[in-house]
Amino acid sequence: MGTIVEEYKDMFQDLLSKSRKQTTITPENVFQESNKDTLALIEKMVKDLLLPNSEIRHQENLKELLERVKEGQKALILMEHYSNLDLPQLVLMLKESGETGKEIADRLVAIAGMKLNEDDPVVCAFAESYSRVVIYPSRSLASITDPEQHKEEEARSRKINLASMRAFDTLRKEGKIFLVFPSGTRYRPGHPETKRGVREIDSYIRLSDVMVLISVNGNCLRIPENSSSQGMLGDIVAKDRIVLDVSPVYSCHGFREEAQEKNPGAEDPKQVSVDHVMNLLAEMHETNEKGRI
């Protein structure tokens, strides 16, 4: 198959026509609810790409997570990240898995970098299909080399991220479940640094009561080999069997303590917690790849 734009050209035209076009992020619009009009288009594409034997394993752990949320606990999902279809696949598969899955899908809010909104109107239209709180990632700020621009963007990033944390707190009190990709970016073959967890993820764990990890096996939107672009529009679509596996429900406090106990005297306790997440996800991924195809 070809690139996502080549294979679904008509869908992207419809997507743009139905987009809200919120391509500039401010402290006032960091929370963006799902655009149901564009969501229907994305889900039609995902259904076309998912092979029939795709599945979510250990769904009983999702049921327990939902029960904890209904008891008033603050929940977090940390998920592997291979493509910009990871979230669409999860949401669709949750909806098709039964009542528990549907309810979790309805409560789900993703943490998303503002690049998805600001870099390309097509990507923005794609991203807005899903409820999300938009943040200004530290990686984006670090990439700015001009001193004056860096100073301006640093002030902007503080305002946006403060508003994002307020939205994060408010929405969780309403029973929303947050999804975060701990690597902060898609994994790119040949670039092992893209599989390292971002230390800021520890803050989300610290501010939560319970969490699950979700590994992702299979990929319906693949980064081309030797690609210099990091954008999704040049990625190659492929039909695949997607296997999502859900870990047991972890106490966030206990998880962080366990990570520290395994690495006494570590210089960066935050990175230790996130490394523990990535190690567990890697183990889950390896286990679930066996016999997948």
Burial zone of 153 (CB within 10 Å; 0-12 exposed, 13-18 middle, 19+ buried) = middle
Do residues 74 and 207 lie in contact, with contact meaning Cβ atoms separated by under 8 Å? yes
What's residue 233's pLDDT?
87
Residue 159, number of CB atoms within 10 A of its CB: 14
Task: Kindly provide the b/e burial profile for residues 62-88, where b requires at least 16 CB atoms within 10 angstroms of the residue's own CB.
Answer: bbbbbebbeeebbbbbbbbbbbbbbbb
- As a whole number of angstroms, the distance between CA 25 and CA 22 comes to 7
pTM of the model as a whole = 0.95
Task: Kindly provide the b/e burial profile for residues 171-200, where b requires at least 16 CB atoms within 10 angstroms of the residue's own CB.
Answer: bbeebbbbbbbbbbbbbeeeeeebbbbbbb
Please report which helix (H) or strand (E) contains residue 133, including its range. strand 132-135
What's residue 227's pLDDT?
66
Number of domains in the chain: 1
The more confidently predicted of residues 16 and 117 is 16
On the question of pLDDT at 67 being above 70, the answer is yes
pLDDT, tens only, 191-237: 888 889 999 999 999 999 999 999 999 999 999 886 666 578 899 99
The more confidently predicted of residues 113 and 250 is 250
How far CA 141 is from CA of 13, 138, 149, 183, 279, in Å, comes to 32, 5, 10, 17, 27
pLDDT, tens only, 71-91: 999 999 999 999 999 999 999
On the question of pLDDT at 26 being above 90, the answer is yes
User: What range defines the domain where residue 174 resides?
Assistant: 4-289
What is the dihedral sign for C-alpha 34, 38, 44, 45?
negative
pLDDT, tens only, 108-132: 999 999 888 887 888 899 999 999 9
Give the domain CATH number at 230. 3.40.1130.10
